[in-house]
Structure 1
Amino acid sequence: MTNDQEGVRPPVVRLDGVRKAYGETDALAGVSLEIRAGEAVAVMGPSGCGKSTLLNMVAGLDRPTSGTVTVNGQDLGELNETGLALYRRRQVGMVFQFFNLLDDLPALDNVALAAQLTGIPARQARRRALELMDELGIADRRNAYPAVLSGGERQRVAVARALMNRPALLLADEPTGALDSRSGEQVMDLLIDLNQIGQTLLMVTHDPLLASRCASRLVEFADGRVVRESAVTDGAEGGGAAAEGAVNVRTAADR
């Protein structure tokens, strides 16, 4: 991304002096960070450095001790718990290391549930869920339960669920951490494709391959602080690995 491009893209995420204390320990120690529309940012660092706390702040799952977290112009500190729940349903999509699918629902219903929770009628939600699953190459698994899906298939179901409400921001917590190398490559390609069509991504990972392939910017954490930021020249916006066969998923950028 060039400086000129950055100049016309508003920040989707802005953290200003965010501190999170647990007793006498600072999980975040005055973090300031911006993520602009269309960026793919990977946050890396050793275990316990504050990466997951950062993700929880942006997801509205935790509140800072001090400082502000703003997403899409909304100061999350101004929202009550009901407001934060609505924010998570409408503004962010979340992809987890261990998928977090409901074992007693088939794949299609797992995906559709995200829209139904916002009040979308079941038939309409299932129609969009099937469209997403088709675009992600798993429509033929729509009636399969999570227990019989491969790791890569489960993560694709989880990505489809995260995209159901056309979020401004897609959050991914170690999205390839529970996958074998082949499934991990497939999920990396999917994340690259999504970013190439405008989806803003924030990823937390220990995997340097995921960061180098899927991110346009790397943010390194240590002891609750940002210690280094750098562009990833081979990242998603630099051409990445998935120039062909990009998925045709509608994101917030299409609205």
Structure 2
Amino acid sequence: MTNVVRLNAVTKRYGGTGPAALHEVSLDVGEGEAVAVMGPSGSGKSTLLNLIAGLDRPGSGTVTVAGTALGDLSETGLARFRRVHIGMVFQFFNLLDDLTALDNVLLPAQLDRVPAGRARKRAGELLGLLGIDAKADAYPARLSGGERQRVAIARALMNRPPVLLADEPTGAVDSATGRKVMDLFGELNRDGQTLIVVTHDPAAAARCATRVLYLSDGDLAPAPAAARTAPGNDRSAR
């Protein structure tokens, strides 16, 4: 299995003093894996995603994504790399309120100067795949939470990124919609999408993940006993 993400002894400390947000974390994520990252608040989950996305830089260690060492890139190079290689889904959607659903989805392609016809075809395919093509001309304020999250997922997939990152993607939707969102991530993974999802919810992790990692005080830690024995924790059983 080809590794799409590799962290080697990564440490990140904010402010120069105090405990590290991440401490010498080493991690490989293979192509086609769906990894859920869990842990208590402040354990380093979002820091881990930010480092993989190149939104932050480690104090020591290396982060490699899709064969590229992120530490070798300038800030401009990182921004360009993210547009092509990393899709990001946020808890609160981060849609632009003055753009329609379709125009929100088109943004990454426009930034990467993809020809308009090809971009619109791709955006239409994604909206159809996610079941919201009828909402293409709607503005975010007219969409439900679940519809907004699907638009955000379509936008993240627009440039066919090797890695899709999601930070608490069910945190701003109701529980029923959250289950549907996580099931959708599972379907994307079964179609070959490499996925890393931060979630606080063991049931949500079980719906989409092929592997679950736990962070505690910035270190990878063994799974809590309750999570290891939780019913339905094997996605393949559904």
Alignment of 1:1-255 (within 5 A): 9-22=1-14, 23-25=16-18, 26-228=20-222, 234-236=233-235, 238-240=236-238
**CA apart distance, 1:135:** 1.1
Unpaired runs of 5+ in structure 2?
Answer: none
Unpaired runs of 5+ in structure 1?
Answer: 1-8, 241-255
For the Cα contact (< 8 Å) 1:109–1:126, is it kept in 2? no
**CA apart distance, 1:128:** 1.1
Question: What amino acid is the match of 1:12?
Answer: V
Local SS of the residue matching 2:146: helix
> Alpha-carbon deviations, 1:101-122, whole Å to 9, x = none?
0000000000011111111122
User: CA RMSD, aligned part only?
Assistant: 1.6
How far apart are the structure 2 equivalents of 1:204 and 1:91? 19
TM-score (norm 2): 0.93
How far apart are the structure 2 equivalents of 1:46 and 1:125? 39
Question: What amino acid is the match of 2:9?
Answer: G
How far apart are the structure 1 equivalents of 2:169 and 2:234? 16
**CA apart distance, 1:125:** 1.3
Counterpart residue number, 1:244: none
> Alpha-carbon deviations, 1:194-244, whole Å to 9, x = none?
0111101001111111111111111100110001269998444x254xxxx
How far apart are the structure 2 equivalents of 1:44 and 1:130? 33
> Alpha-carbon deviations, 1:110-150, whole Å to 9, x = none?
00111111111223212210111011100000000000100
For the Cα contact (< 8 Å) 2:203–2:233, is it kept in 1? no
Local SS of the residue matching 1:165: coil
How far apart are the structure 2 equivalents of 1:16 and 1:83? 21
Local SS of the residue matching 2:63: strand
Aligned residue pairs, count: 231
How far apart are the structure 2 equivalents of 1:226 and 1:154? 32
Local SS of the residue matching 1:101: coil
TM-score (norm 1): 0.87
**CA apart distance, 1:185:** 1.7
For the Cα contact (< 8 Å) 1:19–1:29, is it kept in 2? yes
